[in-house]
Structure 1
């Protein structure tokens, strides 16, 4: 997996791979008023999650103003249920998930608080920012590590005694100086500790869940370590990882990324727009067709069972649009019996000649 992770400068990531709309001068003034406190990101506590959630929500709320209007995104603390209810320390849940703020998304994110057990508090629980991860609805996930953790997936500058100072990406093995510069650079980017390997496996699993649970071509992710962060872009060929950038004292890069993400189209966020959740009337039409086929005995028991499994589960039903020019007609599949090609093989050359038969 490590061979598929490639570091790039932050500027290249922002210019080449981040779509969306650049904030106007008026919007920049509003965004500049959103601040973070370093105290929330330099300790071991969990205050960073709630602080970061509120920070992200403040930015995403501005994305629905004026020309940037669109479906509102919200940030939710999805790691809390994993940290409190599981023995894996939250390793199976990203700390923060950004998702669409609509009724369906809220319904599929199960609240992680005990209020959900009480019918009177259901509405309160649904409004809570602490929910369990729904991979079907998550658009962007953010993983947070403390500044003092030794389990960072990548190298990060580290806060020491209240002052920010860069520390090298640590390799537990002693180096004898004989390794190549290329290997040294790789180890400096990807720490070779057991905890670092485990952390990279963790975030790659998040990307796997997103890509398998949604019609995706690629997805973005943010990894936070103390006051620093990296932006990742995953696709099926590999992952590009931005250099670390400070986002607490100077939040401009993080603010710009989140604002542009909030104003992106679904296609710019990595979604395959030829695949969408089927509207209710299409699903109803398909159900009527299936019932008629079953009553007429035109479906085998196997097909009937498969339709039942597909349409009576909680998984969504998708509508796939295929361009007409990509369709293969039955005529094109017919064998071409009236024409063949003769190959004459010469030294280093293959010559083809059409021949009637």
Structure 2
């Protein structure tokens, strides 16, 4: 029985500083996934203890040093298939691979690791696997019960390595409850400051401390150069953090974590005037031509680009993945290595934003946040930078120093210099987040991202949040299916995964057809509605409950910022923070509008319809180019092409000779209307070549009357839509044990599947 193995290994005194513990079906109570590895090695001074009346202790992922998984079959349950280069084919093998990847994800999430090892028992055999954020490698299967078993040698040597050589990050120090810094962090989290417009950040920080996760002191190594360009010793900044405020799923790839942090001074404490900042920890792709995100932010800040994060400090940590090197050693004949090189990197910015789900009461606030982000994108593009990852997770709302809610265009990690763009992508590896990428980008892995693609991504983000929170003619019970079909949808072709039909049809036809859904409430296309009138005698909230909506900053030029009309839902004045509870699960309850706002009259059209309809018209004209290129006949063609098919040349000759050709019909099919349509489409396409038209479209919409409180509860199903198995292409989202859909990806970037081989 495998649960007897820990006792035998411990009695052999192979690992004197560690203890091997069995955890059969005993998950970590602080982990919502309830996953538990069969057994593992933990430090002797941090061994988990069994609860009262329990035989085995639960696994503690934050201190688990070496996970060990046990399977009975050496073949059917082997997660690595040596005959196929490591990739499993059988369903049982795939399931086991998914299982160990989920364990790897938990180790990386709960600890600060550069890499780690895992032992996998397969009947009388075993493998040793090594994980980092580039890939996973495993040994050949070996018999571990033999006298000279590699397992004994591995455990003996592993237990005598330093923490760094076992994969622990030397730039991260765990903050224990006995540390004075621990007490200071708790005090700052409790210190309410009602005069600070950013006090909502303190509340977010307090929540990260309440989670039962380790607290850390993280270093940021800021690289410096002298006047001649030579590298100097880096300046080391330290920050105190609790649990991650944001955690990207998966194992391979950037593995981005976001923290709300406080600077730590030279004395190891927190200064009274220290302010909260946002610290991003990621394993960035370290390839030639890819800039550090902090360098891009510094450039944008110097160019005074609005609505982008303000750089505090940044730098690489000198930690680089090794899997890509091992792969090259095993495949010296292959020129291109499929595994990417990732470098551990941290960047700190001044602003702490909130997801767009936290817009307050009116969809006008959602649209204004997008307007700000488009202005940021436009200014950055004029400065020579294109973002290339417009997605729901990278567009935030942020309260500025004047207490007004604005948009914030975040995550510039995949951005590039515009003048450095080649006619095609550098490699067949889509850049962006699948759910919000343009149809063109999804249909062509080599596609170079241009302005039209980015503006289309802004449209998809707007649609994503509007369909979730704004009233429309699609029943709530169909919203989950719509989200899946439009955003997660894909076509599997011989050339790989391509854009799903719902998104593609919307772009090509210029409308979002919802006629196929069961709960459609009038019309065949998606329409957004004014909220139902409030019942009479609705109680008026007290002063402490009232909330004014975020207002655009005042400006002498209407073209610079949208102005607020007296009866608009965008009144002037300071706005409060969103309800904090909504960030972590519960929905915002729409508040009644301020008494000073006149009662709204029912409107036939929601202002957001004009934005969406107009943009769809532009995209239809843009995608019509695809059809024009495929329909252009050769000069000597005798076959007439029509919108529905062709008229063979033989039929056309017969019509001319029999004298019965319908002259009236022929005039109706003349080329004049077609030429006019082509000219109209050409003019519409011009709207997507710059940012001016879309900014004017949003700006003009703010002159209209918007519903003051049309934000409703989130219509996205809590459990998500249940799509068919493998419903999202594996190369479209972050890699982990499961293929992820829009329901568990808050945003981020495209990551390819983990590549596996053996050593």
- What TM-score bracket applies, with the shorter chain setting the length? 0.5 to 0.7
- Deviation at 1:282? 0.9
Report whether the alignment pairs 1:203 with 2:100. Answer: yes
CA-atom RMSD, angstroms? 3.5
Find the partner of 2:8 among 55, 72, 78: 55
Task: Give the distance between the partners of 2:8 and 2:42, measured in 1 at CA.
Answer: 15
CA shift in 2, pair 1:252/1:301, >3 Å: same
Tell me which residue corresponds to 2:175.
Answer: 278
Equivalent residues of 2:110, 2:213 under 8 A apart: no
Change (3 A) 1:324 1:63: same
CA distance, structure 2, for counterparts of residue 331 and residue 207 of structure 1: 35
Q: What is the rounded CA distance, in whole Å, between the counterparts of 1:243 and 1:254 in structure 2?
A: 12
Deviations 1:62-105 (A, max 9, x none): 544xxxxxxx21111112437xxxxxxxx932211111122xx3
Distance (Å, rounded) in 2 between the aligned partners of 1:286 and 1:148: 49
1:229–1:305 distance in 2 versus 1, CA, 3 Å: same
**Which runs of 5 or more structure 2 residues have no equivalent in the other structure?**
28-33, 224-233, 236-293, 305-759
Structure 2 counterpart of 1:78: 23
CA drift of 1:149 comes to 6.8
Cα deviation 1:164-196 (Å, max 9, x = unaligned): xxxxx8xxxxxxxxxxxxxxx317x55522111
Partner of 2:366: none
Of structures 1 and 2, the one scoring higher in RCO (CA 8 A, sep 6+) is: 1
> For 2:159, which of 262, 267, 273 is the aligned residue?
262
C-alpha distance 63-249 of structure 1, shift in aligned 2 (>3 A): closer
Alignment match, 2:65: 139
**Shift in CA distance, 289/101, structure 1 to aligned 2, threshold 3 Å:** same
Native 8 Å contact 1:49 1:144 kept in 2: no
Larger Cα Rg: Structure 1 or Structure 2?
A: 2
CA distance in 2, matches of 1:134, 1:251: 31
- CA offsets, 1:277-305, max 9 Å, x none? 1142111123334445x257447341232
Aligned to 2:302: 335
- Cα distance 1:192–1:313, how it changes in 2: closer, same or farther (>3 A)? closer
Question: What does 1:1-357 correspond to in 2, within 5 Å?
Answer: 47-50=1-4, 52-59=5-12, 61-64=13-16, 72-81=17-26, 92-102=35-45, 105-106=46-47, 109=48, 111=50, 116-117=52-53, 130-147=56-73, 150-154=76-80, 185-186=83-84, 189-279=86-176, 280-292=179-191, 294=192, 297-298=195-196, 300-325=198-223, 326=234, 335=302
Distance 1:249 1:205, change over 3 A: same
Distance 1:310 1:81, change over 3 A: closer
Q: Which string of whole-angstrom CA distances, capped at 9 and with x for unpartnered residues, describes residues 237-285 of structure 1?
A: 1111111111102343111100111111111111212112114211112
Q: Whose helix proportion is higher, 1 or 2?
A: 1
TM-score by length of 1: 0.56
Distance 1:256 1:281, change over 3 A: same
Q: Secondary structure at the match of 2:159?
A: helix
Task: Give CA-to-partner distance per residue, 1:99-133, whole Å, 9 cap, x none.
Answer: 1122xx34xx4626xxx15xxxxxxx6xx6x2222
Q: Could you tell me how far apart the structure 2 residues matched to 1:264 and 1:201 are?
A: 29
Q: Give, in whole Å, the separation in 2 of the partners of 1:144 and 1:73.
A: 19
Partner Cα distance (2:181, 2:154) in 1: 37
> Which secondary structure does the structure 1 equivalent of 2:302 belong to?
coil
Following the alignment from structure 1 to structure 2, what is the Cα–Cα distance between the partners of residues 331 and 195? 49
1:209-258 deviations in whole A, cap 9, x for unaligned?
Answer: 11122111111011111221111001111111111111102343111100
Unmatched runs of 5 consecutive residues or more in structure 1:
1-46, 65-71, 83-90, 118-124, 156-168, 170-184, 338-357
TM-aligned CA distance change 1:314 to 1:249, over 3 Å: same
Please tell me whether the aligned partners of residues 110 and 214 of structure 2 are also in contact (alpha carbons under 8 angstroms): no
Cα distance in 2 for residues equivalent to 1:252 and 1:300: 59
Contact 2:143/2:149 (<8 A) preserved: no
2:19 and 2:129 mapped to 1: Cα distance? 20
* CA–CA distance in structure 2, aligned partners of residues 207 and 78 of structure 1: 16
Contact 1:222–1:231 (CA<8 Å) still a contact in 2?
yes
Q: TM-score under structure 2 normalisation?
A: 0.28
**How far apart are residue 55 of structure 1 and its match?**
3.1
Say if 1:140 and 1:220, in contact at 8 Å, map to a contact too: yes
User: CA 1:186–1:149 in structure 2 vs 1: closer, same or farther (change >3 Å)?
Assistant: closer
